[in-house]
Amino acid sequence: MFWYNAVRTYNSEWRKYDYYHDLTEFPKESIKDLPYPFNNPDLIVVELFYNMVKSKLIKELIQGNVPYIIIPRGELTKQAQCRKKFKKSIANIIIAKKYARKAAAIQYLTEQEYIDSSDRWNVNKIIIPNGIEKPDTIKTYFSKNEIKCILIGRIEPYQKGLDLLLDACSLIKEELENANCTITICGPDRENKLDILKATVKEKHLEKIIIFHDAVYGDKKREMLLNSDVFLIPSRFEGHPMALIEALSYGLPCIATVGSNMKSEIEEYNAGWTAENNIYSIKDSILKMIEEKETFEEKSNGSIKLSKIYQWNVLANKSRECFEKIKKET
């Protein structure tokens, strides 16, 4: 396997893998420029969708004879298409729809992501969720006199539902303060939205409740998850959120909206609390979480059980079978 990062977004954690490579090593953005045998691969798996529209690789993929699978991570859903709608409409007309149609298949991460995307992009689809490695440590204790919630993800108010979360918290400010409940939001501010959110926090007098933190990776992320009591994901839409799956694997109970695409699983495994994508439902779920603090350990067990179905050793065989079938059919 050869992992080629062809976009200018880097993460120091990625470089620990021997099979990781990026534009600093192979700047021409061409499959033909990669070392043998990866310059003539049997199959190409492309993560994300609109980032590739900006890459020179897209024409090589469309015009080439090597089958490729696209993992759009929620970018083809009707909800995602409404965000930056004009830009996406232009991209779709120019090249994006052709890029999707030429793919051997679209890999959706959940059945709901496929339903929200439909067959209009490509009738060939497979459904394989995100995978995780089993952590070597899990949550073994919960705070007694406080509730420490954590949210990990991009500082993007609309998709990540941060505006809904702040509005919900403003409705129950007194209850949150009485419960000594804090919410730490960790993530990169790639779209310069952090100052807007900080202003909202100040306007709603939520400074004692909402804490902002830089993006966390590796050991620091692990430390912060284990030091938290509850994971929050108020997203309006997602593909299949890795941050949520990781939190589950450490044994954190979760509050997840329907937009997380994991609402039904959280309910089935009793791994936390769920909400619709609106202020009042999120507010009610947070209040229920506070009222049911004594169930954190029980829900932690549910979280760990749920995370096991996403471990790589379970998903690897399914991925290989799907990829081999696609290769034979193309």
Q: What digits encode the pLDDT tens for the residues 280-329?
A: 999 999 999 999 999 999 999 999 999 999 998 888 888 888 989 888 88
Average pLDDT over residues 200-206: 97
Q: Is the pLDDT of residue 150 over 90?
A: yes
Architecture of domain 147-310: 3-Layer(aba) Sandwich (3.40)
Element (H, E) at 149: strand 147-152
**Whole-model pTM?**
0.81
Percent of the chain at pLDDT > 90 equals 81
Torsion, CA 146, CA 147, CA 150, CA 156, rounded to 10: -100
Which two three-digit tokens encode residue 13?
């954690």
State the first-to-last Cα distance of the chain, in angstroms, to the nearest integer.
Answer: 20
Model confidence over 45-91: pLDDT tens digits?
Answer: 999 899 888 888 999 999 998 999 999 999 999 989 998 899 999 99
Cα–Cα distance measured from residue 20 to residue 24, given in angstroms and rounded to the nearest whole number = 11
**Cα 142 from Cα 91, distance rounded (Å):** 48
Every domain of the chain with CATH number 3.40.50.2000 lies at 147-310
What's residue 17's pLDDT?
A: 86
